[in-house]
Structure 1
Amino acid sequence: MNYESGESPPSRPTKKVRRVSNRKALTKRPFYRQKWREGWTSNPLFSGWLSKSPRSTSSKHRAFCATCNMDFQCGKSDIMRHATSQRHKDLSMQVDNKSLSSILLVNDPLDKSAQKIERKLCAFLAEHYLPISLCEPIMLLLRDLFPNEDALKRICLGEQRASDIIHQVFGKPLLQDLCKVLKERMFSVIIDETTDRSTTKQMSIIVQYWEGNKMHNSFLDLVEIHDSSASGLVTALIQSLETKEIPLENVLAFSSDTTNVMMGEKHSEATIIRELLPNVILVECPSHLIHLCASYACLKLPKSLEDLCRNIHIHFSLSSKRQDPLNEFQNFVGAAPHKTLALGQTRWLSLKNCVKRLLEQWEALGSYFTDVAFTDPTDSNDAILESLNDKFTFAYLEFLSYNLSRLNNFNSQFQSEVPNFYCIRKEVRNLIRSICSDFMSIPYVKKCDLHALDPKHPLFSSNIVSAENIYLGVMAMETMRELKQKSSAHDIKIFYESCLNFLIESVKQIQNRFSLSEPIHAIVQCLNPVNAANLEPKSLAFVFDAIPQLYEYADRSKTDLEWRSHCFIEELNDQVPCSQYWDIVFNKKNALNLPCFPNLRVVISVLLSLPFSNASLERFNASMERFFSNFNTTKTPKRTQLKNETVCGLMHMVYHLRNKGLTTDGLRIDDCISL
């Protein structure tokens, strides 16, 4: 820049420099060392192995790992880094195995008493489907109630130890005992899929076999499924059996529900298993089949009936305030104070209970919706009131109640614990005969084989009675007598045609779904006490031809000899249940105190092992339906984090208690678990 003469350039502003004393400049910031905190030991990630270091003089700044036998810097990040190290993980596995041996092997009598308490408590949690996290609060309560009990003072039962006991002490030994049994006898396999509460798709495997005088349904495995196709399910099943070293040749029969992926004709799990194991007997669940028959038959009736059941339940389930006015109408008309029932899609024949409840509350519901349609005129309320005011709707429901009752009776016969596979053919024929007698001439029903008769055949249609002579049930018949005087002939004709179509469709569905021509239905007739006492059939040689695996377990000639001589036992009674009849035969001994019929026992036990229903896997109290109710009770919303091995341990324990007829209070730990 150019400045004029005599003018000096502007001076720059001086920067203020902060003066620091030499003492402060040379002083460093002190380093903070984390001190030991006792609260870390209560952390589930650190409990059992982390403690304050006893080695170092500055132990308040050091932590000690009992698993690795080393101390390290006492910082949260240092502890986390050590816990996730590979060395710590490897040593933890070894320690777990040692701790397992401490669970199993105890010499001190006081420790044995403590061990018994631990096992009883874990068995109690398994039996009553309680969360495993309850073990610690229960132990605190027991110590408070019994402060002088020395055994309780020695117990340190947390969630991890309880899980180890359930899996290692209960689950593994019980599974080993089951596998040992399955390696030595023929058994049936029942499978089904489920998606648990943690949205994990799994396949449950139940095995069924006859031992002693009782049918055993035992839980084998719970396999996580990634490929839910037919090939994927078969692969998972075979891998599960091969992993446990169970011979595939011992599989007598396979049963499942009636979905296409399970029992379809083209490419299903059943067809793949039949290719791999040609001698396996395929059994479809009769409870599933009869449910499907009823579902298709109901399509012949007006759809408004099913809509009425759903809409009425939805109306009351969404608001508790609506229940109080209904209770007033129930008291006024003298109806029982019952709630409406939901129509379940997966519940067998649940429509029967819904229809029964509607008929019971019909008058109270009519009065209620008459009032509601006036105060709250919505489309839904108007539609419900219109159906309730239609007298034909009431007649349809009475007709349904009568017909679904006999289907339910058929269904309930095959959800019991009594082996009644041989009854399927007889009961199906009786059911068809009962349905046909409502709309066909009785002489024709008596003389022909209705299961083999084609409903499309002219002879079938020519023996159908007139509409007025169709039997609808007692209640529906009385209602129709009143309607004939008040309704048009056209409406009455439509009603009778719908009911007739329902009955004919029921017969068609039963004929198509129940394959009574399968050889197995003829084979199992020898289980019937009446047939066995009269030596029908004369020989059991055809059983060996149908089940070639029997040659490895019994002699055919000796079996025939024993079969023909067993009917002369004086104590036999052909009017007793099947299991009781054969129990007398199996327990008969000769002068040398040896079984009189060892070969016959093997053959009959194999036939008794056939799955007559898969009800046990989805509903625990009736043989696949029981399991899923049991499984969903085991893996509750508060137990969604349970590992698969823990769930299997729980299920093994539950099924063991059930098969032995035991409860936790009567459980003898040393007898029920092989250590």
Structure 2
Amino acid sequence: MMYCCSGNTAVCSLLFGEPVASSSKSTEYVSESITYPQSPDKPDTSTCEKPSDSENSEFSEQPPKEKKKYTQKFRNVWLEEFPSLQCVKQEPICKICDKKLPCNYNHIDRHFKSKSHKLKSNILKTTVQIRQFVDPKKAHVKNSVKAAELKLTVFLHEHNLPFLLMNHLPKLIASTCPDSSIAKQLEIGRTKATNLTKNQLVEEALTELKEHLNINKLYSLIIDETTDISTKKSMAVIIRFHDNVSIKDRFLGLIEVENGTAKCLFETVSKLLKDNNITIENMTGLGADNCSVMMGNKVGVQTKFREINPTIIVMGCICHSLHLCASAAAVKLPKSVEEFLRNIINHF
């Protein structure tokens, strides 16, 4: 800027810091450059210095600040809500799936509602646990229940009762004995009693029978052919033996036969004896009805047995023989006597 200095030198020196020669006769103009501060909106680029490369590297190397993450701690309340959850070193683990879970309620709840967890849980419920075999009290009760069910099934056979009774008898026992843990755990019906008879009692009875026949090898057979309501022919076989105490009769089997011929009946009985390791040579007697198929002297069943063991004593059915004798005697009596007897029966 241009300043007019016509005053004394003292004023000029105060203003500009330099002495200026003055003259009364002449007017001199002095040009001086003065720097004033710029406004903050428009910085003075002429006086600003650029940052060096070292300063730029210092700013670039500083990483951004990370947000602080909140870690949830394990809460014991979760153990009450999820029984199969356990805490190991403050980390939740599912005992059923054997899986480590995030320590978060929503993740744990989502896992226990998943299909895979429910499937494994259902499998675990039906799996027999090892402690059931180790615990002597539970094992004793379980064995007692099995023994009670077998005794009830044998009770039906002993008193010739129907299997249908087993649908109601266990419930009656449980209601009569409410303080018995064995009675409460009885789970047997008609189907189970039938299976116990076929798969357990029959095998046990045959094993006991074989043991007696190994000691006392002599035996007798009582056989009879029958036809059921479905027109299927079957052969019932009963064996009689002595067990050093008394004579006993035991049911040996009920076998379905193709037809009622003497050959078919003989082969059926022979196969049954062979399957149970019973020889025909040890047979001492044979009992059957008096039909020609059984007692025929040429092709009857008793004839085929005597071909193998000639010492067999054959005896026809006494009841059948008595019926034949009574029928033959009634023919000789007057018809009025028979009608009189029938009228007496019909009257009462």
Q: TM-score range by the shorter chain?
A: 0.5 to 0.7
Which of 240, 254, 261 is residue 222 of structure 1 equivalent to?
Answer: 254
Match of 2:196 in 1: 165
Which of 291, 300, 309 is residue 259 of structure 1 equivalent to?
Answer: 291
Equivalent residues of 1:254, 1:281 under 8 A apart: yes
Match of 1:140 in 2: 171
TM-score, normalised on structure 1? 0.30
Match of 2:327 in 1: 295
Query: Equivalent residue of 2:258, what SS?
Result: coil
Provide the rounded CA distance (Å) in 2 between the counterparts of 1:273 and 1:138.
Answer: 45
Equivalent residues of 1:183, 1:247 under 8 A apart: no
Provide the rounded CA distance (Å) in 2 between the counterparts of 1:126 and 1:56.
Answer: 51
The structure whose RCO (Cα within 8 Å, separation 6+) is larger is: 1
Provide the rounded CA distance (Å) in 2 between the counterparts of 1:158 and 1:274.
Answer: 46
Residue 108 (structure 1) aligned with residue 139 (structure 2):
yes
Structure 1 residue 226: Cα displacement? 1.9
Query: Equivalent residue of 1:261, what SS?
Result: helix
Provide the rounded CA distance (Å) in 2 between the counterparts of 1:303 and 1:206.
Answer: 40
Can you list the C-alpha shifts for 1:346-386, whole angstroms capped at 9, x where unaligned? Answer: xxxxxxxxxxxxxxxxxxxxxxxxxxxxxxxxxxxxxxxxx
Provide the rounded CA distance (Å) in 1 between the counterparts of 2:323 and 2:173.
Answer: 49
Can you list the C-alpha shifts for 1:515-565, whole angstroms capped at 9, x where unaligned? Answer: xxxxxxxxxxxxxxxxxxxxxxxxxxxxxxxxxxxxxxxxxxxxxxxxxxx
Structure 1: which 5+ residue stretches go unaligned?
Answer: 1-53, 70-101, 317-325, 327-338, 340-675
Q: Taking structure 1 as reference, are residues 210 and 140 closer, same or farther at Cα in structure 2, changes over 3 Å only?
A: closer
Residue 57 (structure 1) aligned with residue 89 (structure 2):
no
Aligned pairs, number: 224
Equivalent residues of 1:190, 1:205 under 8 A apart: yes
Match of 1:149 in 2: 180
Provide the rounded CA distance (Å) in 2 between the counterparts of 1:158 and 1:166.
Answer: 12
Provide the rounded CA distance (Å) in 1 between the counterparts of 2:290 and 2:195.
Answer: 38
Q: Which structure dedicates a bigger proportion of its chain to helix?
A: 1
Provide the rounded CA distance (Å) in 2 between the counterparts of 1:171 and 1:192.
Answer: 20
Provide the rounded CA distance (Å) in 2 between the counterparts of 1:124 and 1:172.
Answer: 17
Provide the rounded CA distance (Å) in 2 between the counterparts of 1:274 and 1:55.
Answer: 77
The code of the aligned residue for 1:177 comes to: E
The code of the aligned residue for 2:262 comes to: A
Equivalent residues of 2:285, 2:313 under 8 A apart: yes
Query: Equivalent residue of 2:160, what SS?
Result: coil
Alignment of 1:75-474 (within 5 A): 108-184=139-215, 185-197=217-229, 199-310=231-342, 313=345, 316=346, 339=348
Provide the rounded CA distance (Å) in 1 between the counterparts of 2:192 and 2:280.
Answer: 36
Q: Taking structure 1 as reference, are residues 255 and 144 closer, same or farther at Cα in structure 2, changes over 3 Å only?
A: closer
Structure 1 residue 307: Cα displacement? 4.2
TM-score, normalised on structure 2? 0.56
Equivalent residues of 2:224, 2:236 under 8 A apart: yes
Q: Taking structure 1 as reference, are residues 148 and 58 closer, same or farther at Cα in structure 2, changes over 3 Å only?
A: same
Provide the rounded CA distance (Å) in 2 between the counterparts of 1:127 and 1:139.
Answer: 17
Provide the rounded CA distance (Å) in 2 between the counterparts of 1:230 and 1:255.
Answer: 15
Query: Equivalent residue of 1:207, what SS?
Result: strand
Equivalent residues of 1:193, 1:201 under 8 A apart: yes
Equivalent residues of 2:212, 2:243 under 8 A apart: no
Equivalent residues of 1:183, 1:246 under 8 A apart: no
The code of the aligned residue for 2:297 comes to: E
Structure 1 residue 127: Cα displacement? 2.2
Query: Equivalent residue of 1:157, what SS?
Result: coil
Query: Equivalent residue of 1:240, what SS?
Result: helix
Provide the rounded CA distance (Å) in 2 between the counterparts of 1:150 and 1:214.
Answer: 40
Provide the rounded CA distance (Å) in 1 between the counterparts of 2:334 and 2:117.
Answer: 82
Provide the rounded CA distance (Å) in 2 between the counterparts of 1:136 and 1:191.
Answer: 33
Provide the rounded CA distance (Å) in 2 between the counterparts of 1:65 and 1:303.
Answer: 79
Provide the rounded CA distance (Å) in 1 between the counterparts of 2:283 and 2:122.
Answer: 50
Structure 1 residue 157: Cα displacement? 1.7
Query: Equivalent residue of 1:267, what SS?
Result: coil
Q: Which structure dedicates a bigger proportion of its chain to strand?
A: 2
Equivalent residues of 1:142, 1:152 under 8 A apart: yes
Which is higher, the Rg of structure 1 or of structure 2?
2
Query: Equivalent residue of 2:270, what SS?
Result: helix
Query: Equivalent residue of 2:252, what SS?
Result: strand
Structure 1 residue 178: Cα displacement? 0.7
Structure 1 residue 120: Cα displacement? 2.0
Q: Taking structure 1 as reference, are residues 149 and 242 closer, same or farther at Cα in structure 2, changes over 3 Å only?
A: same
Can you list the C-alpha shifts for 1:611-661, whole angstroms capped at 9, x where unaligned? Answer: xxxxxxxxxxxxxxxxxxxxxxxxxxxxxxxxxxxxxxxxxxxxxxxxxxx
Provide the rounded CA distance (Å) in 2 between the counterparts of 1:116 and 1:57.
Answer: 40
Structure 1 residue 196: Cα displacement? 3.7
Equivalent residues of 2:145, 2:182 under 8 A apart: yes
Match of 1:611 in 2: none
Provide the rounded CA distance (Å) in 1 between the counterparts of 2:113 and 2:185.
Answer: 27
Provide the rounded CA distance (Å) in 2 between the counterparts of 1:130 and 1:255.
Answer: 27
